[in-house]
Structure formats: C-alpha cells, structure tokens
Amino acid sequence: MTGLSIEDFLQEEGDFRCGYVALIGRPNVGKSTLMNRFLGQKLSIVTAKPQTTRQRIAGIKTTGEGQIVYVDTPGIHLAARRALNRYMNRIAHACFHEVDLILFLIEAGRWTRQDEHVARSLESVNVPVFLVINKIDLVPDKSRLLQFLEKEVKTDRFSEVFLVAARTGDGVEDLEKKIIGLLPFSRPFYDEDQFTDRSERFLAAELIREQLMLRLHQELPYSLTVEIEEFKRKDGLLRIGAIVWVEREGQKQIVIGKGGDVLKFVGTEARRALQSLFDEKVFVRLWVKVSRDWSDNERALRQFGYDEQS
C-alpha cells in the first residue's frame, strides 16, 4: 500500500483495523523497551531501575494494514505503600478494561509473586491476553526456557504465548502481525503522522527525569519528579525550563552535585536527547526545589501532573 493515505486505503479496501493494546506486567520486565521497538523510535524512557514508567503513555503506529495504539503502563507491584505507588497501580489496572488486547509481559526464566498477582488480576478481563515472555536473549540454554514454561507458568490461562527479545527485536515482528489481525475493523483514531497522545511538555519532562535516573543511584531517583515551567520557541531555539522536585534538603544537594556538576551533566545529556526527539536546537535550564514527601501526598501528585484523567 505504498504511497496511499489512510483515507485512500479505506476507500479502496475497507478493511483497515484499529485498536488499543496495553502492555502490562510487573516493574522492569521490558514493557517500555518493547513499545519503543514496536514504534521503531524512542518514546517511553528506559532505565535499568524498576518503576521508571510512572504514567500511561500511548505510542501510535500507523501502517497500510491498520493503526495500533500501544499503551505503555507503570509496573504493577504488590508493595504500594506510598501514594505514588498506589497511583501507578491504579493507572495500570484502569487499562484492563479500556483496550482491545493485553500483552502481559514477564521475564524469561522468572515467575515471581508479582507476576502471579498480575496474572490473577487479568482473569477478569473480557479481551484476549497474550503472554509475552521477554528477554529470551538472556537465556542461552533454550531447554531451561522450556522447563520454565512447563513447570512454573500456567500458559493455558492465556490466549497465546510469544517469546521475544525486545532489546534485539527477536520475535517482535511475528507478535505484531498477530496483534494487527485481532484488532477490530475501524477507521483510525489518530492522524497518520501522530506518534503519541502526550504533549511535548510531557515528553520533555520524561527525558529529563530519565537522565536523572541514569545519573543518580540508590533510592533517590524514586524521590524526584520533574515539572516543566517554561517551554517556548523563539528565534529558532526551543527554551525549556524545568524544576526537579525532591523530598529532602539533603537530596537537593545530591542532585545539584559538587559545584553543580551533577545538574550540569544531566542538563547536557537531556539537551542532547531533546534535540534528537524534537529535531531542533534546544536550551535547557534546571532548578532543584524541595516539596517534602511529595510522593505520598495526593494533592502534590496532582500538582506535578500525576492525574488519572490525563
């Protein structure tokens, strides 16, 4: 269908498919990496730290066959002691009944209590659930993988089972072919050149937070968030001003670093990532402020954009 617009395709064929597909699972199983692989570009931020994804974000892929709206979700976890953790769980669970298909991701060779919790939560959904076993590239002995499936995973609970490596792309194309074939016939929900439902300000905040998570260690990344205060284009330059909110004065000093070296490094790396995303010259300015225990305060969460209606 090369060269055809969506409207031309619909007029000629009338069998265009469109639907929502949620990526669900416990933290750190590769949901964001898989969505980026599906899209062929980076949208969701990715780090090795669990709970990097905090909010729902849709990635839109349009081809001649259809439009798939992938919905990346926060990892579902059992220990939801703080308001932010409870918020992330609610966001993920809300997607169960708002999509046409669910991809339940687990890590090859591991079936945890959290995986079992998610699997049981999915038993009530009324749409197909694919079990997607990710990171198969990290299990060189395939016989071990087969033993894992036979002994630890009740695969009969799922519509189908797929083995993939989101990092390398192995198995992803076959999975996507199956996905498009299950979506309902429909006109597209979004313009064909749109790749997400999120604003540029949201994406900017996420890329800055990603660089902070990559740079900082231990528990500090989970105690910070990013709020965009300035986002203006003028004279060929995109100016972005952002506040990094932390929960303690001591954390503020760590984020700033000795002589401002940490914040300077984060700003430089964030600027490079933002220029790559927006394809234009970017200036980034960062401030660090304290909002005590913001991650356990419902009002503060809403102030910083953790809105369940977004």
pLDDT in tens, 123-179: 999 999 999 999 999 998 888 888 888 888 888 899 999 999 999 999 999 999 999
Average pLDDT over residues 21-28: 96
| pLDDT at residue 8 greater than cutoff 80 | no
Once rounded to an integer, what is the mean pLDDT over residues 268-294?
Answer: 96
What is the percentage of the chain residues whose pLDDT exceeds 90? 82
Question: Rounded to whole angstroms, how far apart are CA atoms 296 and 304?
Answer: 12
83-92: average pLDDT: 94
For 206-244, the DSSP string reads: HHHHHHHHHH--TTGGGG-EEEEEEEEEETTEEEEEEEE
CATH number corresponding to 6-182 = 3.40.50.300
User: Cα 170 from chain centroid?
Assistant: 20
Q: Average pLDDT of the chain? A: 92
Give burial (CB, 10 Å; 0-12/13-18/19+) of 250.
exposed
What pLDDT sits at residue 6? 55
β-pair type (17-24, 66-72)? parallel
pLDDT, residue 309, reads 66
CATH class entry, domain 200-303: alpha beta
**pLDDT value of position 1:** 41
Question: How is the chain split into domains, by residue range?
Answer: 6-182, 200-303
Stretch 273-287: mean pLDDT: 96
Residue type, 201: R
Dihedral through CA 47, CA 48, CA 49, CA 54, nearest 10?
A: 40
